[in-house]
Structure 1
Amino acid sequence: RGLWGIENLSLIPGKAGAAPVQNIGAYGREAKDVIERVEMYCVESGSMLTLDAAHCEFGYRESVFKHALKGRVVITAVEIALTRTPQPHLGYGDVEREVEARGGATLRNIREAIIAIRRTKLPDTAELGNAGSFFKNPVVDQPVAERLKTEWPDMPLYPAQEPGKAKLAAGWLIDKAGMKGYREGRVGVHERQALVLVNLGGATGSEVIALARKVQTAVRDRFGVEIDTEVNIL
């Protein structure tokens, strides 16, 4: 319908209700950029509540629904605000290149480019068990980022929302720590996207978590950086 705002989130699997919980995001855009309010059912009182975006405590893959309201509400609807004014966000090299190859920054071209990139990098959940990106991109103090950039000139570096901070690429860190494509029994790190852990067939949750801890240790030992999980682990 010609509405801009969520085209960069194309092909992210999941339900609408999960979008604010995780503040899902990709290629420079997040759910918080378009969410106006969230409607929910309160388990404790049995009443319906509405929470404005300003009170959702959105952060990088964070929200109040993962903390203070965890287990206490069921999200029933999400109100989002889109626009007819073109607002292309092409800050990632792959996206800009793919969009230009399709003839420029139209809504259709951006959506098709995002979908094509995701399909080349990420495994199909119907064919290979995975939970999408398993790790968050770590946010570190600017001096730490500058020191690492000096040691690793090809290291990707992105601005963070917090002043005095910078965001590192967890996938790059995992790759350089020697874990991209690593396999152990029935679990592994995806060979095309190091952020993704895959179930090779019949693996248990404990096996997946054990591999995640091994990946975290490898990155810590190599770079002195902690990477946290994006997946909720109960």
Structure 2
Amino acid sequence: MNHTVRVWDLPTRIFHWSLAASIVALVVSAKLGGNAMVWHFRFGYAVLALLLFRLVWGLVGGRWSRFVAFLYSPARLLRYLRGQEHPEDAVGHNPLGALSVFGLLGAVALQVGTGLFSDDEIAFAGPLTRFVSNDWVSQATGLHKDIGQYLVLGLVALHLLAIVLYVLVKRQKSMVRAMVVGDKVLPTPVAPSRDDAASRLLALLVLALCGGVVWWLVGLGG
């Protein structure tokens, strides 16, 4: 008997697709340059707010959105790679997927962080450049324009490739669907993620506070 379980709460799903859309917008605006850089900065601030939200939501969010749910030990990862899967590996992020998630979030955080201290020496500068030395700005700009962007693009490509392989090879078509509707059909019952009106209101409050932090941070450079 199969069981339908709420795995991804609505705030996590909105975060996921908002981050994906924002990364695309960041890449496009950076390639266009010129006046599009105004939007590049705006999307960068939006991504920073989203990352702060995910950091908090990883502590207080739904059961399977919390970091503790997919913070695996090296031994658990090795067993998964050997094909010795734990029953809960198929619920949220499996051990390999968890590495991908943490790696991508870390790379995006690094890219946004260096962007705050970058300066194109033409018309646009990050809001925090005046707080650090020119040498620091130069290093941050170099990381942001070169290593950082390619690292993010590479990890995004690997993330998408992994999803395609899981869908086509392992026939786990519910993976993408679950991030849209929130539910997964599982062979055994597990504790669902909380996804009621109260938790969604909490998520909205957390997002507003994170947006306020970013607004304050950007204002420091004004």
TM-score, normalised to structure 1's length? 0.27
The structure showing larger relative contact order (alpha-carbon pairs under 8 Å, at least 6 residues apart) is: 2
When normalised by structure 2's length, the TM-score is 0.29
More strand by share: 1
Structure with the higher fraction of residues in helix conformation: 2
